[in-house]
Amino acid sequence: MLVIIKKDYEKLSKEAAKLVADRLKKKPNLVLGLATGSTPLGLYKELSRMHKYEGLDFSKVTTFNLDEYVGIPPSHDQSYHYFMQQNFFKNVNLDPRYIHVPQGMAKDVDQFCNWYEDRIKSFGGIDLQILGIGSNGHIAFNEPGSSLGSRTRIKTLTPATRKDNKRFFKKNEEVPKYAITMGVGTIMDAKELLLVASGKGKAEAIHQSVEGPLTAMCPASIIQMHKEAFVIVDKDAASKLQGTYVDSWEPITIK
Ligand code: GLP
């Protein structure tokens, strides 16, 4: 795992986008795992800018989103479908046939989850998975206590996550109770992981994930076991880290 600390949110977003762009240039048909939440917004903005002004090409890319709320249609302005459309998909030249977001309205959720897993495999697996982190250490919607080997399935959201998400909904009752999410095992199968976190509210979760014990109570701690994981954080999110870390993912060249 490589932990990279940047001065602020803008710099962390640019650093993360540079890594995605690098992988995309090396493999134009990249299979990219995508995350929602406010943290990757800067990364999506920078990738959109690179597409518009630098010709970064997404035409051969396949995407798989981590999660989606159950019971909210794609047209709902708080659905992850809508979020991705507004903040990324509409800005780049992805082929809609190769965009995948879990179907929160699926009639048979189990069948859908199996299909999603098979579909990921049929594209040769995810090359690079972008991740955010919940303040309780969740990744995607794998809440504390999630099995570290879990696959795509339906999960009940914890009161803490529902509270964090309340700001996006008009009424408390509107905050979804369930989500379809890739499992921790699904995420760990990705060839590379890129976790981004910003702000003091994430400092404890980052400390526990990077330096704490490996535990299902902090699902993000599993990334310590991944061979190619990048954690890019700003100074605030890094404020509880005790180790010494670098400021770029690019390999160090010794002169
Ligand atoms: C939701 C998403 C996660 C995301 C988390 C943090 O729970 N399912 O994938 O990492 O929010 O969001 P934010 O970046 O807004 O703090």
Residue extents of the structural domains in the chain = 2-234
pLDDT-derived band at 164, boundaries 50, 70, 90: confident
* Mean pLDDT estimate for the chain: 96
**Residues 234/9, Cβ–Cβ less than 8 Å:** yes
Q: How many angstroms is it from 138 CA to the middle of ligand 1?
A: 8
Would the pLDDT of 168 be above 90?
A: no
Would the pLDDT of 194 be above 90?
A: yes
> Considering just the CA atoms, what is the radius of gyration of the chain in Å?
17
Amino acid code (one letter) for 36: T
Would the pLDDT of 220 be above 90?
A: yes
For the CA of 157, the nearest atom of ligand 1: 7
Measuring from atom 13 of ligand 1, which residue has the nearest CA?
A: 37
**C-alpha angle 11/17/18, rounded to 5°?**
90
Nearest to 141 by CA among 214, 67, 227: 67
For the CA of 181, the nearest atom of ligand 1: 8
Measuring from atom 11 of ligand 1, which residue has the nearest CA?
A: 37
Please give the pLDDT value at position 160: 87
- Ligand 1 pocket test: which of 44, 164, 182 has the largest number of ligand atoms within 8 Å of its C-beta? 164
- Comparing 57-66, 96-105, 160-169, 227-236, the range with the smallest average pLDDT is 160-169
Would the pLDDT of 97 be above 90?
A: yes
Catalogue the active-site residues: 67, 136, 138, 143
Q: Is the domain 2-234 a CATH 3.40.50.300 member?
A: no
**Residues 67/181, Cβ–Cβ less than 8 Å:** yes
For the CA of 132, the nearest atom of ligand 1: 10
What's the distance, CA 166 to chain centroid?
20
Share of the chain above pLDDT 70, in %: 100
